């Protein structure tokens, strides 16, 4: 059994069990294949394997060596046979197919051989039965057919020769589809007759004509970037569809649009540059534009770029409409599927092109702005630039829905820098105005407010709304912004209309365009407004001489206390308001920087407020503890904290502003003018008026800043604007304290005997002396009223300060009395009541304020021990000197007097 098994293993079919071989066995076979010498793979005709083996038999030829060589050769034969069989089995299917093809060819050859045999038999039959004349007829017929073919070829040659001219005529008529169709038909006809040498040459010429025609189509296609014509584009699209290059044409069209943006941008800038060379890039051209020409150059640039954007916008709209008309339901037709795929590709390409073209436009404008030196623009030109850029961003939103973040950020950053730089100039200008201000009343109507200024004309509808309804809703807040985006879309969209050649930037070409027009949707044509507004403003600001029919004497006779309303402003006040109007114009375009701009407006008010206090309280010579409210002190301290020891104020950027110096022309020492009372009135009341105008703006300002920023505005309103009227007390006291000669009055009071036993019938002489001083003061106020329109509120404030000074003067005089009896206390009451009665008649104050200050002090003489102690502890408005004099005169018990004096001294130490 063993030998037989061995024989079967040796002589079995090679490779029969190759699939069951182990990995180790396969590796062994591979090793055997590598050991086979290359000569065994030579052709049998060139190589004798038996002879080669015998020649290389082992020497000496022992049985073992021969057996070993035989086993090796047998193993190599088995491996090679197995591999060959394996490869044959892998290629079996290919082999079967090739064999089937061979059988098919054999059948076709057999069929061809039969056909040839039949044809020969039929020709043999024809030659035996037909005559020569019959063959002649056939030959002539054949000649006729050949001649006809030649004539047809000649006719083709004639038509092909005229193709170039015909194509040129069709292109001239803008029949692009017909031209392409003619060329393609001619090429097809020429291709079917390429056996002629001349036809082959014409085929080459037709290809050249086709290339030139495509170049012509491309040239026409490029012109659409500047002025889209749907009729021409429809013909071009039809021609490119015939060529099978619709997508390629769309790619080429987008390249033309990119080139058009660059070319038109350069063309817009070139006229404003002196020497232009071919090597200059767009950025170099922008840097060469002079600053005074930059605004008009920007306008020209935006108009040119809008032309490109409008053309592309019309292209996209045409495609959208065209796709809706030609759209077909989904079909399994391969041709329809390809058309739908191509249509979708073009749609996506056009949609992406909107963003791409806008980014190109945005990049050109940004490059120009970075190179043109915005900081050197005059304010009016800067506002105009903002208006142009605002229109451009509106165009972008309609064009592609983009919010222009890049351009907006650039505008915001540069606008903040510009407005801060502009503000520095306004602060320096304000300093100059304040130092040279004559503090004379500017003649305005009693109904004058900031809405009558030209700078606030367009704000009138917003501010009127806020005044009538102070509860501002979100809708009003949106209404106070620049304009509604929906209205913008409607307004801008009409400029994209194919039927118009106008642009939304045309309004800036008008030299008479105002800042109000810039921020409107479009120039409002309202004859009743524009034609009369300016005259109305002038009538409102400056009173007509016809309305001032009183003479100077009539004004003197008329008591100023009868004037109910008056507006007291200075030229500097109007200048500050106009600056605020200019600042707000920037807020309308850039609401995101509104808070920064409003803070600059507030700084103008702070500067004005602090300067008035600095100028007109410099000669205050009385105690100021009761003249300054807590908020007034806080405001002055806040503003003074920004002023260093050298008198220099700084803003947030570290820029310093010199505080105004007290002007030499300001005379505050003349008694005839009540120590500059008219100037003090004009200064203080102008600050109060300015504060009221700021308060009028507050609802609008709160509507344009972010919600979380409104607290800052509220704080300024409640802690600064509301404090403006508190300036009256310290400023008016400077003149009121000089209305009565305090030294003479105190001397006269000291000469009165306060220790009389009986109550006097007549008041003391010093009362008449003080009354005469007050009468003189009243007469001088009458004189001042000829220069300043004094209303009741101003007069009451002045007389209140006179009353305040008089009551303190009386208490001071009463406290100087070393001895005082009950009769003397009665005389004190008689004196101050008589004085207040006369003061009431002169001033018109009913009742005279602050008289309780005297009344309480005099009545304190009658208080018992406990009541006097409570009075000392509670009445902190009296000085220790006044209280000590009270105790010394009212308390006869030495122990009680010492105890009360100790309380007063202890209060003094506690307060310090």
Query: What single string gives the DSSP state of each residue in 188-232?
Result: HHHHTTTTSHHHHHHHHHHHHHHHHHHHHHHHHHHHTTTS--HHH
CB count within 10 Å of CB 159 equals 14
Buried b (16+ CB within 10 A) or exposed e, 489-517: eebbeebbeeeeeebbbebbeeeeebbbb
Each residue's pLDDT tens digit, 774-806? 999 999 999 998 889 888 899 999 999 999 999
Cα separation, 773 vs 786, whole angstroms: 21
Selection from 617, 626, 606 nearest residue 662 by Cα: 617
- Does residue 536 have a cis peptide bond before it, meaning omega lies within 30 degrees of 0? no
Omega before 156 cis (within 30°)?
no
- Cα separation, 32 vs 652, in Å, equals 92
Cα distance between residue 730 and residue 675, in whole Å: 14
Which H helix or E strand runs over 656? Answer: strand 656-658
Residues near 704 by Cβ (< 8 Å), separated by ≥ 6?
477, 480, 481, 587, 588, 591, 594
Each residue's pLDDT tens digit, 496-538 = 876 677 888 888 887 655 544 544 444 433 333 444 444 444 5
Asked if the model's pLDDT at residue 334 lies above 70, the reply is no
DSSP state of 560: G
User: Tell me, what's the pLDDT at 94?
Assistant: 85
| Confidence at 654, pLDDT banded by 50, 70, 90 | low
> Which pLDDT tens digit goes with each residue over 683-696?
999 999 999 999 99
Handedness of CA 777, 778, 783, 788 (dihedral sign): positive
* 557 vs 26, higher pLDDT: 26
**Tens of pLDDT along 43-96?**
877 888 888 888 888 888 888 888 888 888 888 888 888 888 888 888 888 888
DSSP-derived 3-state class of residue 650: strand
* CA pair distance 414, 824, nearest whole angstrom: 76
Q: Looking at residue 672, what is its pLDDT? A: 87
Distance of CA 326 to the CA centre of its chain: 41
CA atoms within 13 A on the CB side of 152: 10
pLDDT of residue 107: 93
C-alpha dihedral (460, 464, 465, 471), degrees to nearest 10: 130
Band of residue 890 on the pLDDT scale cut at 50, 70, 90 = confident
pLDDT of 474 reads 39
Give the integer Cα–Cα distance in Å for 755 and 76: 157
Q: By the 8 A CB rule, do 522 and 507 touch? A: yes
On whether the pTM is more than 0.85, the answer is no
pLDDT at 382 over 70: yes
Instruction: Supply φ then ψ for residue 547, to 5 degrees.
Output: -85, -20
**Cα distances (Å, whole numbers) of residue 721 to 447, 609, 610:** 20, 10, 12
At residue 4 the predicted structure's pLDDT band, cuts being 50, 70 and 90, is very low
Quickly state the pLDDT bin for 575 (edges 50, 70, 90): very high
Q: Would the pLDDT of 608 be above 90?
A: yes
Contacts of 747 (CB under 8 A, 6+ apart): none
Q: What is the mean pLDDT of residues 122-132?
A: 75
Is a pLDDT exceeding 90 seen at residue 811?
Answer: yes
Highest mean pLDDT among 327-341, 374-388, 760-774: 760-774
Q: DSSP H helical segments within 18-162, as ranges?
A: 23-35, 49-55, 63-90, 92-129, 132-161
Least confident of 15-19, 32-36, 110-114, 351-355: 15-19
Say which DSSP state 455 is in: G
CB 242 within 8 A of CB 181: yes
Is the CB of residue 731 less than 8 Å from the CB of residue 617?
yes
542-549's contacts with Cβ under 8 Å and 24+ in sequence apart are: 542/443, 542/444, 543/443, 543/444, 543/445
Residue 661 CA to residue 682 CA, distance in Å, equals 19
Q: What's the rounded mean pLDDT across residues 718-738?
A: 94
Residues 825 and 862: beta-carbon distance below 8 Å: yes
Paired with 648 in beta bridges are 658
Distance of alpha carbon 313 from alpha carbon 709, whole angstroms: 40
Over the Cα atoms of the chain, what is R_g? 55
Phi, psi (deg, nearest 5) at residue 657:
-125, 120
pLDDT band at 333 (very low <50, low <70, confident <90, very high): low
């Amino acid at each position: 059994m063993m030998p037989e098994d061995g024989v079967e293993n040796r002589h079995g079919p090679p490779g029969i069990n190759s699939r069951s071989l182990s990995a180790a066995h396969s590796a062994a076979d591979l090793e055997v294949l590598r050991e086979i010498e290359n000569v065994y793979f030579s052709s049998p005709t060139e190589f004798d394997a038996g002879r080669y083996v015998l020649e290389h038999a082992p020497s000496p030829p022992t049985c073992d060596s021969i057996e070993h060589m035989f086993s090796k050769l047998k193993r190599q034969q088995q491996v090679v046979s197995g591999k060959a069989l394996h490869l044959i089995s892998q290629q079996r299917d290919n082999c079967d197919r090739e064999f089937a093809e061979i059988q098919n060819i054999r059948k076709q050859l057999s069929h061809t051989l039969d056909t040839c045999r039949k044809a020969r038999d039929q020709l043999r039959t024809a030659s035996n039965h037909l005559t020569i004349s019959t063959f002649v007829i056939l030959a002539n017929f054949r000649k006729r057919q050949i001649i006809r073919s030649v004539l047809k070829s000649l006719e083709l040659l004639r038509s092909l020769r005229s193709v170039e001219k015909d194509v040129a005529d069709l292109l001239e008529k803008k029949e692009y589809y017909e031209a392409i169709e003619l060329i393609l038909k001619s090429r097809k006809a020429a291709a079917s007759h390429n056996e002629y040498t001349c036809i082959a040459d014409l085929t080459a010429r037709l290809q050249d004509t086709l290339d030139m025609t495509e170049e012509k189509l491309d040239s026409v296609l490029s012109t659409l970037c500047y002025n889209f014509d749907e009729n021409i584009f429809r013909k071009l699209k039809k021609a490119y569809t015939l060529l099978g290059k619709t997508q390629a044409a769309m790619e080429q069209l987008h390249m033309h649009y990119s080139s058009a943006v660059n070319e038109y941008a350069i063309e817009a800038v070139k006229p404003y540059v002196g020497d232009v060379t071919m090597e200059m890039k767009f950025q170099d051209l922008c840097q060469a534009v002079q600053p005074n020409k930059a605004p008009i150059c920007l306008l020209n640039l935006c108009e040119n770029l809008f032309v490109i954007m409008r053309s592309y916008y019309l292209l996209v709209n045409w495609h959208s409409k065209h796709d809706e008309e030609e759209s077909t339901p989904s079909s399994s037709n391969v041709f329809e599927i390809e058309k739908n795929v191509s249509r979708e590709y073009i749609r996506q390409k056009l949609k992406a092109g909107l963003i791409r073209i806008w980014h190109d436009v945005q990049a050109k404008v940004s490059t120009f702005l970075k190179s043109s030196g915005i900081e050197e623009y005059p304010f009016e030109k800067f506002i105009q630039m903002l208006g142009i850029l605002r229109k451009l961003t509106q165009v972008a939103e309609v064009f592609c829905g983009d919010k222009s973040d890049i351009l907006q950020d650039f505008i915001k950053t540069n606008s903040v820098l510009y407005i801060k730089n502009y503000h520095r100039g306004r602060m320096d200008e304000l300093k100059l105005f304040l130092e040279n201000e004559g503090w004379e009343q500017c003649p305005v109507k009693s109904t004058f407010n900031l809405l009558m200024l030209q700078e606030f004309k367009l704000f009138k509808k917003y501010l009127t709304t806020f005044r009538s309804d102070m509860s501002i809703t979100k809708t009003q807040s949106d209404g106070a912004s620049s304009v509604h985006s929906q209205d913008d879309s409607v307004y801008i969209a009409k400029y994209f209309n194919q039927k118009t050649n106008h642009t939304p930037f045309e309004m800036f070409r008008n030299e008479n365009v105002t800042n109000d027009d810039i921020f409107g949707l479009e120039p409002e044509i309202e004859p009743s407004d524009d034609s009369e507004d300016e005259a109305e403003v002038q009538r409102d600001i400056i009173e007509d001489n016809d309305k001032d029919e009183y003479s100077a004497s009539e004004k003197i006779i008329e008591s100023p206390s009868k004037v109910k309303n008056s507006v007291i402003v200075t030229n500097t006040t109007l200048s500050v308001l106009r600056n605020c109007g200019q600042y707000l114009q920037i807020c309308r375009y850039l609401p995101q920087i509104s808070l920064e701009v409003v803070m600059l407006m507030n700084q103008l008010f702070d500067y004005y407020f602090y300067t008035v206090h600095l100028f007109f309280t410099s000669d205050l010579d009385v105690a100021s503890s009761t003249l300054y409210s807590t908020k007034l002190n806080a405001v002055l301290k806040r503003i003074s904290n920004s002023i260093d020891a050298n008198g220099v104020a700084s803003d947030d950027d570290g820029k310093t502003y010199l505080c105004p110096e007290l002007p030499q022309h300001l005379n505050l020492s003349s008694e005839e003018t009540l120590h500059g009372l008219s100037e003090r009135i004009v200064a203080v009341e102008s600050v109060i008026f300015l504060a009221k105008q700021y308060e009028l703006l507050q609802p609008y300002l709160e509507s344009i800043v972010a919600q979380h920023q409104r607290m800052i505005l509220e704080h300024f309103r409640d802690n600064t604007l509301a404090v403006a009227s508190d300036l009256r007390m310290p400023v008016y006291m400077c003149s009121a304290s000089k209305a009565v000669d305090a030294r003479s009055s105190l001397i006269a009071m000291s000469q009165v005997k306060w220790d009389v036993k009986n109550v006097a019938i007549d008041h003391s002489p010093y009362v008449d002396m003080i009354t005469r001083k007050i009468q003189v003061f009243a007469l001088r106020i009458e004189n001042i009223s000829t220069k300043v329109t004094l209303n009741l509120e101003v007069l009451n404030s002045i007389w209140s300060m006179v009353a305040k000074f008089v009551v303190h003067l009386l208490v001071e005089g009463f406290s100087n009395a070393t001895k005082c009896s009950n009769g003397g206390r009665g005389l004190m009451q008689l004196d101050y009541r008589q004085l207040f009665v006369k003061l009431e008649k002169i001033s018109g104050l009913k009742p005279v304020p602050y008289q309780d200050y005297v009344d309480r002090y005099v009545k304190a003489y009658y208080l018992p021990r406990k009541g006097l102690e409570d009075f000392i502890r509670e009445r902190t408005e009296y000085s220790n000197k006044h209280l000590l004099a009270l105790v010394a005169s009212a308390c006869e018990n030495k122990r009680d007097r010492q105890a009360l004096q100790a309380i007063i001294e202890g209060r003094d130490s506690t307060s310090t």
